[in-house]
Amino acid sequence: MSKKKKVVTTKKTVAAAPTVARRAAAVLENNASTELIFNRQNYILMMIGAVLIIVGMLLMTGGAQPDPNTWDPDIIYSKRITLLAPVVIITGLIIEIVAIFKRN
C-alpha cells in the first residue's frame, strides 16, 4: 500500500503585518535617537579623567637601576612613584565617576 502525497496550494498570498513588539521597538528607537545620555560637559569631564589616569600611569614608570649589581631604594621608592602617581590616578577615576553620574 502506497500513500499518495497531497499537494496544498494557496491562491492568495497574504502579507504578514508587523508584530506589536516590532512596532514598539521602532517607536523606542525613534525616541532614543533624539535624546543622548551624556552631554558635552560629561564628555569633557570624561576626557579630563582619562588624561589624568594616563598621566598617573606615566608618572609611575621608571625605577630602573643604573647598575644591575647595585640596589638603590631611593630610585624605586621615590615620592613620584609611590605617592604622586597613585593620587593622580585616583583623582582621574573620581572625575570619571562624577562625569558618568552627573545629570544636567
Q: Is residue 30 part of a domain?
A: no
* pLDDT tens per residue, range 56-66: 999 999 888 88
In this structure, what are the phi and psi dihedrals at residue 64, rounded to the nearest 5 degrees? -75, 140
Give the residue from 95, 85, 90 showing the smallest Cα distance to 48.
Answer: 95
Lowest-pLDDT choice from 28-37, 43-52, 92-101 = 28-37
Is residue 4, in this structure, part of any structural domain at all? no
Cα 46 from Cα 59, distance rounded (Å):
20
Task: Tell me whether residue 9 is in a domain.
Answer: no
Does the residue 18 lie in any domain?
no
The C-alpha atoms of residue 47 and residue 32 are separated, in whole angstroms, by: 24
Report the domain count for the chain. 1
In a domain, 75, yes or no: yes
Please check whether residue 53 is in contact with residue 86, taking contact to mean a CB–CB distance below 8 angstroms. Answer: no
Q: Answer whether residue 67 is part of any domain.
A: yes
Cβ atoms of 59 and 85 closer than 8 Å = yes
Average pLDDT over residues 8-21: 69
C-alpha–C-alpha distance, residues 104 and 100, integer Å: 11
State how far the Cα of 38 lies from the Cα of 98, in Å rounded to an integer: 12
Q: Is residue 14 part of a domain?
A: no
Is pTM, for the whole model, over 0.75? Answer: no
Range of the domain at 66: 37-101
Q: What is the mean pLDDT of residues 34-57?
A: 94
Residue 27 lies inside a defined structural domain of this protein: no
For residue 29, pLDDT over 80 is answered with: no
